[in-house]
């Protein structure tokens, strides 16, 4: 004996009753990475067509940078340049899923379809809330765990099917934490850079200025050591630091000082208060959202839902699935402050 309810009936129920609820709850919470990362949200099919390794992973090809232009005389041959491969950042694309199964007995109850409709509504609301919360928490951890010198493999997943050789989970492409005091120059010249301001750097006018100079001047070189332009444009803080940050970025004058001088950091960048930054109420980050810097994110957004019938055990399963991959493609332009490296 087959199932008395068809897959199409359950699909219709979810499309008409469940999916709108799920989408409403999913969209009710901001996707905070939009404010500090290079985020690409597209359908599964679009991402699969664009990226050859999707849905397993993503690889960001890198070139160290060209040589500096040279002055030549009229008629003189232009000096040849060479392309040199640099680090090739890559990261795993993660698949997230939840499901609920309805049995033959569920469909045999009195008012079965009404009860199933109610269940789908409740489950859909939960899926909408939990999927977006999980994405936000994961991406907040790239900031929070990005200072750990020993790495954090649960967050920085670099290996994936077909691309696992010579790759270490837990750190970024140069073998360091995202925020470290010894990032090596890509060309092996021996130079190093520091984008980690340690635990004695509470958010203030002075420390914010220091972070901006590190990102836009001290560290503003490409992989061959050529000067590049980096303009930090976002300050990210946990909820407990939002009032200090607002005072810095929005006040005309320097607050609580005798001479009430001009606030020199007013409006220099956008403030992002991220409630998923929970492991240190005093930590803060600045960065540039220029393409090719910081964190790259590819995702399918709200979960895709499919309905599967199993004639063997007389069940119908409703699955919700989404895909998200994230990784640091260039540490430059970003600074973490007031957070430990261990």
Q: CA-to-CA distance for 79 and 142, rounded, in angstroms?
A: 42
Query: Does the bond joining 314 to the residue before it have cis omega, within 30 degrees of 0?
Result: no
What percent of the chain stands above pLDDT 70? 92
DSSP codes of every residue in 188-201: SSS-EE--EE-TT-
The pLDDT tens digits of the residues spanning 220-237 come to 998 878 889 999 999 999
DSSP codes of every residue in 157-221: ---BTTB-TT--TTS-TTSS-SS-S-EEPTTSSS-EE--EE-TT--SSHHHHHHHHHIIIIIT-B
Is the separation of the CB atoms in 104 and 80 below 8 Å? Answer: no
The pLDDT tens digits of the residues spanning 251-290 come to 887 765 666 678 888 889 999 999 999 999 999 999 999 8
The distance between the two most distant Cα atoms of the chain, rounded to a whole number of Å, is 91
Provide φ and ψ at 321, rounded to 5°.
-135, 140
What DSSP designation does 319 have?
Answer: E
- Can you give the pLDDT at residue 71? 75
Is the separation of the CB atoms in 254 and 205 below 8 Å? Answer: yes
Kindly tell me if the per-residue pLDDT of 142 is higher than 80: yes
DSSP codes of every residue in 252-290: SB-TT-SS--B-TTTTSSEEEE-TT--S-TT-EEEE---
pLDDT classification of 5: cutoffs 50, 70, 90: low
Residue 1 belongs to what H/E stretch? none
- Beta carbons within 10 angstroms of residue 331's beta carbon: 24
**Rounded to two decimals, what is the model's pTM?**
0.89
Calculate mean pLDDT across residues 282-305.
94
């Amino acid at each position: 004996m087959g199932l008395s309810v068809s897959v199409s009936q359950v699909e219709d129920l979810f499309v008409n009753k469940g999916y709108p609820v799920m989408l409403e709850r999913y969209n009710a919470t901001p996707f905070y990475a939009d404010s500090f990362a290079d985020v690409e949200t597209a359908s599964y099919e679009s991402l699969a067509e664009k990226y050859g390794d999707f849905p397993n992973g993503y690889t960001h090809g890198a070139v160290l940078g060209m040589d500096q232009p040279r002055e030549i005389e009229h008629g003189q041959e232009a000096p040849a340049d060479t392309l040199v491969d640099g680090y090739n950042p890559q990261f795993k694309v993660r698949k997230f899923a939840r499901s609920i199964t309805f049995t033959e007995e569920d469909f045999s109850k009195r008012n079965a379809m009404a009860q199933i409709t109610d269940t789908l509504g409740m489950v859909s609301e939960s899926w909408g809330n939990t999927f977006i919360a999980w994405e936000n928490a994961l991406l907040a951890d790239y900031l929070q765990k990005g200072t750990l010198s020993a790495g954090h493999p649960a967050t920085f997943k670099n290996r994936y099917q077909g691309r696992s050789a010579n790759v270490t989970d837990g750190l970024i492409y140069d073998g360091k934490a995202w925020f470290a005091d010894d990032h090596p120059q890509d060309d092996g010249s021996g130079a190093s850079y520091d984008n980690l301001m340690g635990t004695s750097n509470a958010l203030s006018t002075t420390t914010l200025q220091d972070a901006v100079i590190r990102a836009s001047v001290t560290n503003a070189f490409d992989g061959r050591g050529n000067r590049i332009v980096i303009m930090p444009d976002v300050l990210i803080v946990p909820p407990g630091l939002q009032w200090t940050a607002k005072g810095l970025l929005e006040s005309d004058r320097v607050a609580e000082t005798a001479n009430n001088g001009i606030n020199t950091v007013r409006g220099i960048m956008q403030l992002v208060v991220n409630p998923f930054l929970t492991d240190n109420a005093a930590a803060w980050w600045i960065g540039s959202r220029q393409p090719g810097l910081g964190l790259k994110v590819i995702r399918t957004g709200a979960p895709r839902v499919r309905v599967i019938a199993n004639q063997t055990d007389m069940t119908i399963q409703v699955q919700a699935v989404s895909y998200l991959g994230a990784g640091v493609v260039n540490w430059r332009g970003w600074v973490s402050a007031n957070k430990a490296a261990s």
